[in-house]
Amino acid sequence: MKTLWAPWRMEYILGKKEPECIFCSYPKKTNDRDNLILYRSAHNFVMMNKYPYNNGHIMVVPYIHTSTIDNLTDEVLLDFMKVTQYSLKCLKEAFRPEGFNIGINIGAVAGAGMEEHVHLHMVPRWAGDTSFMSVLGEIKVIPEYIMETYDKLFPVFNKR
């Protein structure tokens, strides 16, 4: 068994938690850039992960506050998958990754950090995107400032 080290995420794990669900409160605000929201559809939105595993780590999130996809209507679920498909296309255009990790963690034991509001993670991957830094130095190298990544992705997501 191999071990995935992600010590940079301790800031998220040990940091101050928002008083309310960010997936419910952030879309109600108008400052999408400050809240890292890249795209909005009728039933879902795309948001960058503030504590990314890699550049371009995004999340597809339904507006409905639910802990599992079981509670999504067919209309919301179809939109969820269409937004996921669109996000994949946008990330390919913006960053030309060699692969992706895509997944939904349902429940704390499955790794859900925000278990009360279901969301899908999409992480672009490149050969060699993990290195000795994360293994030996317990440091993850993210080669680009998060707001620069946002500024690259936003126009790609919103050119329709």
- Contact 93/152 with Cβ under 8 angstroms? no
**Rounded (10°) angle between helices 74-95 and 146-157:** 120
pLDDT exceeding 70 applies to what percent of the chain?
A: 79
Asked whether residue 5 is domain-assigned, the answer is no
Asked whether residue 8 is domain-assigned, the answer is no
Asked whether residue 142 is domain-assigned, the answer is yes
- Which pair of tokens denotes residue 40? 């909005």
| pLDDT tens digits for range 91-149 | 999 999 999 999 998 888 877 677 899 999 999 998 877 644 444 445 555 667 889 99
- Which pair of tokens denotes residue 45? 């939105």
Asked whether residue 11 is domain-assigned, the answer is no
C-alpha dist (Å) from residue 62 to 70, 88, 107: 12, 17, 16
CATH number at residue 81: 3.30.428.10
Residue 119 catalytic?
yes
Strand partners for 44: 62
The alpha carbons of the chain give a radius of gyration, in whole angstroms, of 16
Asked whether residue 72 is domain-assigned, the answer is yes
Asked whether residue 60 is domain-assigned, the answer is yes
Q: Please tell me the total count of domains within the chain.
A: 1
In this predicted structure, what is the pLDDT of residue 54? 87
In the set 43, 57, 119, 121, the catalytic residue is 119
| pLDDT tens digits for range 12-69 | 556 666 678 999 999 999 999 999 999 999 999 999 998 888 889 999 999 999 999 9
pTM: 0.80
* Surface-to-core class of residue 40, CB atoms within 10 Å of its CB (0-12 exposed, 13-18 middle, 19+ buried): middle
Q: Which domain holds residue 124?
A: 20-157
Asked whether residue 139 is domain-assigned, the answer is yes
As a three-state string, the secondary structure of 65-89 is CCCCHHHCCHHHHHHHHHHHHHHHH
* Surface-to-core class of residue 44, CB atoms within 10 Å of its CB (0-12 exposed, 13-18 middle, 19+ buried): buried
How many whole angstroms separate alpha carbon 129 and alpha carbon 69? 31
Asked whether residue 10 is domain-assigned, the answer is no
- Which pair of tokens denotes residue 71? 């509670």
